[in-house]
């Protein structure tokens, strides 16, 4: 009887698995990564661009086309990023002054769509999805669309998949509308509101949320979600006065910028000590800090909850005097979702930095 040949093992050696595991993990991470894309003008002022996640302190470099000014961050983990530009006029650093909409839920209004509404919605959603495909190269799976209406005028439109979150879903994609397209889309969406005859009942600021699946041609509900009141001049004055009265180690302080709503706010504060201290130093030294103070209003009064450090340096005064460093909220708080491209509004690099929002040589 002829002995049978031993069966070859199909199990890879342990060493091969150990080598393959990091590669598999990297592929899995890239598959769930997001992207940021935008344009910087004029392109010849831009030297480099990077994105920073303030939570993890990780930075990512962008591919920048020096001819067109288009930039692209790839393989970004899901999160919120600030963009930092190195330019011919100095550093321009994005800061996140956007506030979330947490807090007491605002009463939303649910509307029953008619058959005419459903046809109109499908047309609008398909049109918006086509715009995203043409400009971002990807066709989003549209399960809802959200038009942000402020002061009765449409500001922005988002498409998304999965569950809609009125506070800003991580699965949303901002539709990059051109100036000549905005009135057309606005008329289409606000005309839809007229069809359901609720215009006179709507607040001036709200999110028009339409649950729809373009692929299946099904329309669910239409919701009107009111948004918080805007930050008033009285609120701004109170926040600035609070910073002025703040007792700190530094001998100078000022508000560089602030933003928020009627119930939440973020204030960008610069603190500087350029007076002598008892700490040992080879030459006159300054302590320079830039921080974001987070405020929330309770029962009509503002309360500081926490702060986020943006810059913390101990630097020779002679070096500080040479700094060219400006902080820009338009480049901050950019949310990145998995498997999505976040399109950032075109940013124009200034010919000189604004000393009210940072440091310039003095």
Rounded CA separation 337/350 (Å)? 29
Residue 179 placed within a domain: yes
Give the total number of structural domains in the chain.
2
Rounded Cα–Cα distance for residues 60 and 298 (Å) = 38
Is 219 in the same domain as 234?
Answer: no
Kindly state whether residue 321 falls inside one of the protein's structural domains: yes
Greater confidence, 360 or 135?
360
pLDDT score at 147? 82
Q: Which residues pair with 71 in a beta bridge?
A: 38, 64
Residues 273, 136, single domain; the answer is no
97 and 242 fall within a common domain = yes
pLDDT of 62 reads: 95
The pLDDT of residue 79: 92
* Tokens at 141, concatenated: 């799976």
Residue 54 resides in a domain = no
Same domain, 243 and 345: yes
Higher-confidence position of 43 and 189? 43
Cβ atoms of residues 42 and 69 within 8 Å: yes
**What does the buried/exposed string (b/e) look like for 157-178 if buried means 16 or more CB atoms within 10 Å of the residue's CB?**
bbbbbeebebebbbbbbbbbbe
Most confident of 44-48, 98-102, 195-199: 44-48
> Tell me, what's the pLDDT at 37?
92
- Range with lowest mean pLDDT among 49-53, 219-223, 286-290, 303-307: 219-223
Does 31 map to a domain?
Answer: no
Residue 165 and residue 180 share a domain: yes
**Cβ contact 312:272 at 8 Å:** no
Q: With a cut of 70, say whether residue 15 has pLDDT above it.
A: no
Model confidence band, residue 158 (pLDDT cutoffs 50, 70, 90) = confident
Q: Which of 202, 226, 250 is the last residue of a domain?
A: 226
Q: Among residues 171, 203, 226, which one ends one of the domains?
A: 226
Q: Are residues 342 and 251 in the same domain?
A: yes
- For residues 90 and 193, membership in a common domain is answered with no
Q: Would you tell me the crossing angle of helices 115-136 and 182-195 to the nearest 10 degrees?
A: 160
Asked whether the predicted pLDDT for residue 113 surpasses 90, the reply is no
Give the pLDDT of residue 181.
81
223 near 192, Cβ under 8 Å?
no
Give tens-digit pLDDT for 162-171.
655 544 444 5
Q: Are the C-beta atoms of 326 and 119 separated by less than 8 Å?
A: no
Lowest mean pLDDT among 5-14, 50-59, 261-270: 5-14
**Domain end call among 226, 252, 271:** 226
Q: What is the mean pLDDT of the chain?
A: 82
The model's pTM: 0.67
Question: Does 179 lie in the same domain as 294?
Answer: no
**According to the model, what pLDDT value does residue 309 have?**
96
Residues 204 and 351 in one domain: no
Q: What is the full DSSP assignment across 201-265?
A: GS-SSEEEEEEEETTTTEEEEEEEEE-PPBPPHHHHHHHHHHHHT---SSSEEEEEEEEEBSSEE
332: in domain: yes
In a domain, 70, yes or no: no
Residues 185 and 284 reside in one and the same domain: no
Per-residue model confidence as pLDDT tens digits over 332-357: 999 998 877 888 878 999 999 999 99
> How many helices and strands in the chain, by DSSP H and E?
5, 22
Range of the domain at 142: 109-226
Residue 217 CB contacts under 8 Å (≥ 6 apart), including other chains: 122
Question: What is the structure's pLDDT at 7?
Answer: 47
pLDDT at 171: 53
pLDDT, position 280: 85
Shared domain for 171 and 320, answered yes or no, is no
Q: Could you read off the pLDDT of 90-105 as tens digits, one per residue?
A: 999 999 999 875 544 5
Is residue 347 a part of any domain in this protein? yes
Alpha-carbon torsion 150, 153, 157, 162, what sign?
positive
58 in a domain, yes or no?
no
Q: Are 14 and 322 in contact (CB under 8 A)?
A: no
Is the pLDDT higher at 172 or at 231? 231
Domain holding 186: CATH number? 3.30.470
**Residue 266: count of CB within 10 angstroms of its CB:** 23
Q: CA angle, 234 as apex, 102 and 248 as ends, to 5°?
A: 80
Q: How far apart are CA 154 and CA 190, in angstroms?
A: 8
Please give the structure tokens belonging to residue 125: 């959603």
Pick the range with the lowest mean pLDDT from 90-99, 130-139, 272-281, 343-352: 130-139
The average pLDDT across 68-75 equals 94
Same domain as 204, residue 153 = yes
């Amino acid at each position: 009887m002829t002995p049978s040949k031993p069966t070859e093992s199909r199990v890879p050696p342990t060493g091969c698995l150990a080598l393959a595991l990091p590669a598999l993990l990297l592929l899995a991470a890239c598959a769930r990564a997001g992207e940021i894309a935008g344009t910087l003008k004029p392109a010849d002022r831009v030297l480099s661009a990077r994105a920073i996640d303030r939570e993890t302190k990780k930075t990512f470099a962008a591919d920048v086309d020096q001819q067109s000014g288009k930039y692209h961050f790839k393989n970004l983990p899901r999160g919120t990023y600030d963009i930092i530009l190195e330019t011919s006029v100095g550093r321009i650093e994005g800061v996140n002054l956007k506030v979330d909409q947490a807090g007491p839920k605002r009463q939303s209004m649910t509307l029953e769509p008619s058959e005419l509404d459903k046809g109109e919605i499908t047309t609008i959603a398909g049109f918006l999805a086509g715009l995203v495909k043409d400009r971002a190269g990807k066709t989003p799976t549209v399960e809802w669309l959200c038009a942000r209406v402020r002061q009765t005028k449409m500001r922005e439109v988002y498409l998304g998949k999965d569950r809609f979150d009125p506070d800003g879903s991580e699965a949303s994609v901002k539709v990059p509308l051109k100036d000549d397209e905005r009135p057309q889309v606005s008329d289409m969406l606000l005309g839809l509101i007229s069809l359901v005859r609720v215009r006179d009942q709507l607040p001036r600021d709200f999110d028009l949320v339409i649950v729809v699946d373009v692929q299946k041609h099904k329309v669910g509900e239409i919701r009107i979600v009111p948004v918080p009141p805007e930050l008033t001049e009285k609120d701004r004055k109170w926040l600035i006065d609070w910073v002025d009265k703040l007792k700190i180690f530094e001998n100078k302080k000022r508000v560089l910028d602030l933003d928020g709503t009627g119930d939440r706010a973020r204030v960008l504060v610069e603190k500087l000590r350029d007076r002598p201290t008892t700490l040992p130093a080879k030459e006159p030294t300054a302590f320079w800090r830039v921080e974001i103070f987070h405020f929330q209003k309770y029962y009509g009064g503002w309360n500081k909850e926490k702060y986020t450090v943006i810059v913390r340096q101990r630097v020779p005064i002679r070096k500080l005097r040479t700094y060219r460093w400006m902080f820009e909220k338009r480049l901050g708080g950019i949310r990145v979702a998995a498997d999505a491209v976040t399109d950032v509004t075109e940013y124009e690099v200034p010919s000189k930095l604004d000393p009210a929002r940072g440091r310039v040589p003095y």
